Amino acid sequence: MRGFWPIFKRELFAFFITPLAWVVMTAFLLIQGLHFYLVFSHFAGQAQLGPDAGPVQTFFGQTVLLYLPLLFVCPVLTMRLFAEERRSGTIEPLLTAPIGVSGIVLGKYAAVLTTYAIMWLPTLLYMWLAAEAGHVDWNVVGSGYLAVLAVGAGYLAIGTMTSAVTKSQLGAAIISAMILIGLFMLGIGAFIFPEGVARDLCSYVSVWAQMNDFSRGLVDSRRLVFDGTTIVLPLFITIRAVDAWRLE
């Protein structure tokens, strides 16, 4: 873990001195603002809401507008992490510095995860607005944000891995997006297949099913285990890939 903090601070600073983070954050917040407005407008005229139906529950788990931005924002945030270093040739001095490979990888990953969390921070205003308009279950809000963070952390780990296996930022973004879309499409099988092994498998990897559960305050540890796997495995592969560059 040598060098974690210098790498973390370097990457976080690099994100916010370039237009990339600001453009991505602005686009993301515009989409989520529209998303919340549409959800809130839908429920504004309803006098009574069910226990599992409300603007907060719908915002976090029951519309595609939550998922689509994640499928493209995460690849864009991670595409430059290693691909740009290799393209520009700055990876050689980095690897020869007295810094551990795990410190490099985890420092870069922690910086992009922090950026992702900062992107979601302004959406707390939506929850405050919902609370001003009516009752909000803050346990549901907490579990909703937990799911958003856990899913996003896995997606960012996958994006970090793809950035480490290509010298092209565009190529890294495309490969990452294809993997995430593939996982998303596989998860839809949970709503298509009849009861059986195929349906259970699809349900286990389904981000839609996970968000549906967490948006109702149902925190399933099995889904957190899957999220943890999608974080640890790609980062392990990334560390091995970066370590192999020393031998090139």
163: nearest Cα among 232, 100, 112:
112
Mean pLDDT of the region 10-26 = 86
Looking at residue 191, its pLDDT comes to 75
Mean pLDDT of the chain: 84
Residue with tokens 């600073």: 13
User: With 90 as the cut, is the pLDDT of residue 150 above it?
Assistant: yes
Are 106 and 11 contacting, i.e. CB atoms less than 8 angstroms apart? Answer: no
Mean pLDDT of the region 56-68 = 80
Task: Give the pLDDT band of residue 246 (cuts 50, 70, 90).
Answer: low
How much of the chain exceeds pLDDT 90, in percent? 27
Rounded-to-integer distance, Cα 106 and Cα 104, Å: 6
Q: Is the dihedral of CA 211, 212, 214, 216 positive or negative?
A: positive
Angle at 154 between CA 205 and CA 37, to 5 degrees: 85
User: With 80 as the cut, is the pLDDT of residue 151 above it?
Assistant: yes
Are 36 and 126 contacting, i.e. CB atoms less than 8 angstroms apart? Answer: yes
Secondary structure of residue 179 in the 3-state scheme: helix
User: With 60 as the cut, is the pLDDT of residue 49 above it?
Assistant: no
Mean pLDDT of the region 220-224 = 85
Helix (H) or strand (E) holding 55: helix 55-61
Question: Residue 209's Cα: distance from chain center in Å?
Answer: 16
Query: Which span out of 77-86, 179-188, 205-214, 229-238 was modeled with the highest average pLDDT?
Result: 229-238
Task: Give the pLDDT band of residue 70 (cuts 50, 70, 90).
Answer: confident
Looking at residue 101, its pLDDT comes to 86
Rounded-to-integer distance, Cα 79 and Cα 173, Å: 5
Task: Give the pLDDT band of residue 154 (cuts 50, 70, 90).
Answer: very high
156: nearest Cα among 185, 170, 142, 177:
177
User: With 70 as the cut, is the pLDDT of residue 216 above it?
Assistant: yes
Mean pLDDT of the region 6-10 = 89
Please tell me the total number of residues recorded for the chain in this structure: 248
pTM for this prediction: 0.91
Looking at residue 51, its pLDDT comes to 52
**99 phi/psi in degrees, rounded to 5:** -130, 135
Rounded-to-integer distance, Cα 179 and Cα 237, Å: 15
113 or 214, greater pLDDT: 113
Angle at 54 between CA 51 and CA 60, to 5 degrees: 110
pLDDT in tens, 81-130: 888 777 777 777 777 777 788 899 999 999 999 999 999 999 998 888 87
114 or 191, greater pLDDT: 114
Residue with tokens 């592969």: 237
**63 phi/psi in degrees, rounded to 5:** -135, 150
Rounded-to-integer distance, Cα 125 and Cα 146, Å: 17
What's the distance, Cα to Cα, between the start and end of the chain in Å?
A: 22
